[in-house]
């Protein structure tokens, strides 16, 4: 690359105009993301505008999408490179500028923290009733097709097929079982109702699905709503077909068939992550302001049991006091069933501490910079009379 070209590229990369342009684009994205929440929901809008490299536009009447605007991921990456390059070029390596170096490091870390959060943060939920003990958390949006070997009355062997695999594979062998699944149709969101005389025949040939009509619907947009998935799947064991089944998270319970004396159940349920410890809800409290129905505080008194660690203790989880344990944070989110059901939001984010460190660095850098500037100013004032 010619020297002049490298110089022009370096000037553009470290330009203050580029910094201002990136900040302006980010403000536009924040406004657009806020407005888009009406049709996409909070998570959908954030993913579409803030955590993507480009904002895409769906061409009407086609399945094609084209990029029409830079997304927050791309703009943030450019801004981080711009800040680092400008700092290296313009700031001298001296103790006089140490405060500004710390401030810039804090700003860079703030953007890095958002990238880490968008890439690795996992949100789950734990819905638990008083007196109930659970050792797993569930995804609020992702589902699994659970195949349960319920032959043994004392225990269930559960095999989960991820929703992502159901979307892209037509035939799936379930490890640990003689069962193969042949996906006939999968609906992201659907309306289920009793099949009438004028409805088309169902794909289901077994279970309750033969009497259910399925009509595809657009995905829901509100964050407090969940899509009704509908899956038509043929169960095959040792080469024998046991029919095509309709499974859905809108159906009341699992459906089952028997193969060579073993009972297998099929159900579409939230994806589970099993924990090496368990939580028991001892008491849920819903406090209100006296004389009103305005909530004052929600709290859950849970018993934490971790046999491998020999740990047994009670923990109070309230609105402003989460339980942080083994990389997960349990927040009090909601409640139900006449205050006997507590719903905890479970967040796993390895980079959760980065925004706090960033704010501390920015504050420390500003204080240090102004303190050093004040000290230099005081020394100059004291030196003036001495020279006079």
Q: Which of left, alpha, beta for 325 (phi over 0: left; psi -120 to 50: alpha)?
A: beta
pLDDT tens per residue, range 345-387: 999 988 888 899 999 999 999 999 899 889 888 888 887 665 5
CA angle, 101 then 106 then 107, to 5°: 100
pLDDT of residue 62: 79
Cβ-contact 120, 365 below 8 angstroms: no
CB 181 within 8 Å of CB 144: no
Specify the pLDDT at position 218.
86
Nearest Cα neighbor of 23 from 72, 59, 57 is 72
What does the pLDDT read at residue 224? 66
Q: What is the reported pTM?
A: 0.73
In this structure, how many other beta carbons lie within 10 angstroms of the beta carbon of residue 376? Answer: 11
Q: Domain locations in the chain?
A: 3-121+353-387, 124-133+274-348, 141-273
Please name every residue paired with 269 in a beta bridge, in sequence order, or none if there are none.
Answer: 144
pLDDT band at 299; cut points 50, 70, 90: very high
Check if the beta carbon of residue 350 is closer than 8 Å to that of residue 120: yes
Lowest mean per-residue pLDDT among 40-44, 195-199, 271-275: 40-44
Q: What is the mean pLDDT of residues 46-52?
A: 88
pLDDT of 248 strictly over 70: yes
pLDDT band per the 50, 70, 90 thresholds, residue 37? confident
Residue-wise pLDDT for 11-30, tens only, equals 888 888 999 999 999 999 99
Average pLDDT of every residue of the chain: 88
């Amino acid at each position: 690359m010619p020297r002049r070209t490298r110089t022009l590229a370096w000037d553009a990369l470290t330009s203050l105009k580029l910094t201002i342009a990136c900040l302006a684009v980010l403000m536009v994205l924040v406004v657009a993301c806020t407005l888009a929440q009406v049709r996409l929901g909070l998570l959908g809008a954030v993913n579409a505008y803030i955590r993507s490299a480009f904002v895409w536009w769906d061409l009407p009447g086609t399945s094609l999408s084209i990029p029409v605007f830079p997304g927050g991921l791309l703009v943030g990456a450019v801004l981080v490179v711009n800040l680092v390059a400008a700092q290296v070029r313009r700031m001298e390596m001296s103790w006089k500028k140490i405060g500004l170096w710390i401030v810039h490091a804090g700003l860079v870390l703030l953007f890095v923290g958002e990238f880490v959060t968008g890439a690795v943060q996992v949100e789950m939920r734990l819905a638990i009733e008083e007196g109930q003990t659970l050792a797993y958390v569930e995804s609020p949006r992702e589902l699994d097709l659970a195949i349960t070997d319920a032959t043994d009355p004392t225990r269930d062997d559960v095999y989960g097929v991820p929703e992502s695999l159901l979307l892209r594979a037509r035939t799936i062998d379930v490890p640990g079982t003689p069962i193969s699944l042949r996906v006939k149709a999968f609906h992201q969101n659907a309306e289920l109702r009793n099949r009438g005389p004028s409805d088309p025949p169902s794909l289901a040939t077994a279970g309750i699905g033969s009497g259910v009509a399925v009509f595809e619907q657009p995905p829901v947009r509100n964050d407090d709503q969940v899509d009704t998935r509908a899956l038509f799947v043929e169960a095959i064991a040792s080469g024998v077909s046991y029919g095509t089944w309709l499974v859905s998270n809108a159906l009341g319970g699992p459906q089952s068939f028997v193969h060579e004396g073993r009972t297998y159940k099929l159900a579409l349920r939230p994806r589970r992550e099993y924990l090496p410890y368990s939580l028991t809800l001892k008491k849920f409290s819903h406090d209100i302001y006296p004389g009103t129905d305005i909530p004052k505080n929600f709290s859950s008194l849970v018993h934490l049991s971790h046999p491998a660690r020999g740990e047994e203790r009670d923990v109070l989880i309230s609105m402003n006091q989460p339980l942080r344990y083994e990389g997960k944070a349990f927040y009090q989110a909601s409640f139900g069933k006449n205050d006997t059901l507590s719903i905890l939001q479970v967040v796993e984010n390895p980079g959760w501490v980065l925004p706090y460190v960033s704010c501390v660095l920015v504050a420390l850098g500003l204080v240090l910079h102004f303190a050093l500037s004040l000290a230099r100013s005081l020394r100059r004032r004291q030196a003036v009379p001495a020279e006079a």
